[in-house]
Amino acid sequence: MKNIYLKNTVVLLCIAVVVAVLLFFTNFYTKNTVAENNANNQANALQDVISNLSITSQENAGNLWTYYNGNSIIGYAVLSSGQGLGGEIDLIIGMDSNYKILKVDIVSQKETPWVNLNTMKKTLSEFANQTGPFTVSLNPASSNEIKEITGDKETTNALVNIVNNAILLVESQGETNGQ
């Protein structure tokens, strides 16, 4: 009887080692592709959130891009991240020079599977043409209240916090630049 337990243990150990080696090589060979896809997603999202601006030049300081038309600041874009219920959410938030949200786009997200990507995008569209700070509500009464994703208050709170943090970053940058 002991031999059967030993045999099963060795077989399971061998299977685990083979799977671990396969996962290692899969990760090793795909990490560059994943990094490239993430960079492309960020570039596309960045272009999308500022597409309505007439830009003549730009400055980049880490996760903050400042856009100019001549010498005047006409907008900002911020890469902002936060923790949702299921994992990290990365957003690009576009704003005009008065900190009004132009558009919010998803760069990447590892949110819970039951939160549909289209549902998240619909929630993010509620920020457009509004100024923060924002709050979450089941029945929004003002433009600064974002409707809670049904059954997932944590994700809605995460999206609102990410956007509010981006606004704070841009406002502090604007104060530094004398805006």
Residue 138: give the domain boundaries: 47-176
Residue 113 is assigned to a structural domain of this protein: yes
Residue 105 is assigned to a structural domain of this protein: yes
Which helix H or strand E contains 131, and what residues bound it?
A: none
Residue 28 is assigned to a structural domain of this protein: no
Provide the number of structural domains found in the chain. 1
Give the whole-angstrom CA distance, residue 139 versus residue 1: 65
pLDDT tens digits along 105-151: 888 888 766 666 777 788 888 888 888 788 888 777 777 778 777 66
Residue 56 is assigned to a structural domain of this protein: yes
| pLDDT recorded at residue 128 | 85
Residue 6 is assigned to a structural domain of this protein: no
pLDDT tens digits along 17-58: 999 999 988 888 888 887 788 778 777 777 777 777 777 777
Number of H helices, E strands in the chain: 3, 7
pLDDT tens digits along 88-103: 888 999 998 888 899 9
Does the pLDDT at position 85 exceed 70? yes
pTM: 0.74
Q: Answer yes or no: are the C-beta atoms of 119 and 105 closer than 8 Å.
A: no
More confident residue, 80 or 59: 80
Residue 144 is assigned to a structural domain of this protein: yes
Residue 35 is assigned to a structural domain of this protein: no
